Amino acid sequence: MLSGKTALVTGSTSGIGLGMARALAEHGANIVFNGFGDARQIEKLYTDVGKEFGVQTAYHNADMSKPAEIEAMMQFATDKFGGVDILVNNAGIQFVANVEDFPVDRWDAVIAINLTSAFHTTRLALPGMKKRNWGRIINLASAHGLVGSAGKSAYVAAKHGLVGLTKVTALENAHSGITCNAICPGWVLTPLVQKQIDDRAGREGISADQARKELLAEKQPSGEFVTPEQLGALAVFLCSPAADQVRGAAWNVDGGWTAQ
């Protein structure tokens, strides 16, 4: 379904981004990977995905907090594959502290990586999408793009902002073949969440297993984690013709978190 298309997935060396990249590759899209990690492992990762699904893959190491590096990555995707048809804004970080204790540099980093980077990739991808009159922009927001939680001011502000950016991008391109939607997951067991589980276990003097159960019980009525594969399948659907009129949605996949 997506052969001949190119998808750029930010933060795709791990977790949800990797799940998105794999799902899009499985349906034939060439993939530009991005994210941090060990250079050799990253090379193996994108080479293996290319071989497994018979698509072309490449990697750019842009730091998503740095606009000049984002511009270089978008230019790289154009030079390599002729442009970006599917943009998945996924890179993200978390930091937990109450507002009055929140380190200013952590606030700036969370906003830059989780929100402002999506503005830069989107503004740079849109001209090519407009030329081809086709594009899919998928923003990885969060249940925290819809509701708040104590201690997560920067993350919640960034994710609410990302849902806002999604709506405006969808509206500005409503008369075209370009759609923009947000996916709002609840808890997904990735390194980003494992850190919060480990912090909770340490703080409360409980096992990691108990901390994992408590984390789910607090917010996610299903009591089960969402998986990167489930989110990848939703991204594939959003790229299909069946989703041509899904525009500006903030689609929760959260085990019931935001239904409460």
Active site residues: 155
By CB under 6 A, name the one of 63, 106, 130, 243 that touches ligand NAD.
63
Closest CA to 140 of 115, 109, 169: 115
Give yes or no for residue 181 binding ligand NAD (CB under 6 A). Answer: no
CB of 81 to ligand NAD, least distance (A): 19
Residue 52 region by backbone torsions, left for phi larger than 0, else alpha for psi between -120 and 50, else beta? alpha
CB of 131 to ligand NAD, least distance (A): 27
Residues 6+ apart with CB under 8 A from 72: 60, 62
Residues 6+ apart with CB under 8 A from 66: none
Site string for ligand NAD, 196-235 (x = CB under 6 A): ----------------------------------------
Closest CA to 89 of 162, 154, 194, 5: 162
CB 92 within 8 A of CB 12: no
Helix (H) or strand (E) holding 157: helix 153-172
CB of 245 to ligand NAD, least distance (A): 25
Give yes or no for residue 128 binding ligand NAD (CB under 6 A). Answer: no
Residue 33 region by backbone torsions, left for phi larger than 0, else alpha for psi between -120 and 50, else beta? beta
Give yes or no for residue 97 binding ligand NAD (CB under 6 A). Answer: no
Give yes or no for residue 179 binding ligand NAD (CB under 6 A). Answer: no
The Cα 253–Cα 96 span in angstroms is: 22
Give yes or no for residue 36 binding ligand NAD (CB under 6 A). Answer: yes
Residues 6+ apart with CB under 8 A from 68: none
H helix and E strand count, the chain: 9, 7
CB of 40 to ligand NAD, least distance (A): 15
By CB under 6 A, name the one of 152, 187, 197, 257 that touches ligand NAD.
187
Shorter beta-carbon distance to ligand NAD: residue 45 or 170: 45
CB of 260 to ligand NAD, least distance (A): 16
**Residues 130 to 149: which contact ligand NAD by CB under 6 A?**
140, 142
Burial pattern 27-51, b for ≥16 Cβ within 10 A else e, equals: bebbbbbbbeeeeeebeebbeebbe
Shorter beta-carbon distance to ligand NAD: residue 175 or 234: 234
Shorter beta-carbon distance to ligand NAD: residue 30 or 90: 90
In this structure, what DSSP letter does residue 221 have? T
Shorter beta-carbon distance to ligand NAD: residue 93 or 111: 93
Binding site for ligand NAD (CB under 6 A): 11-17, 34-37, 63-65, 90-93, 113-114, 140, 142, 185, 187-188, 190-193
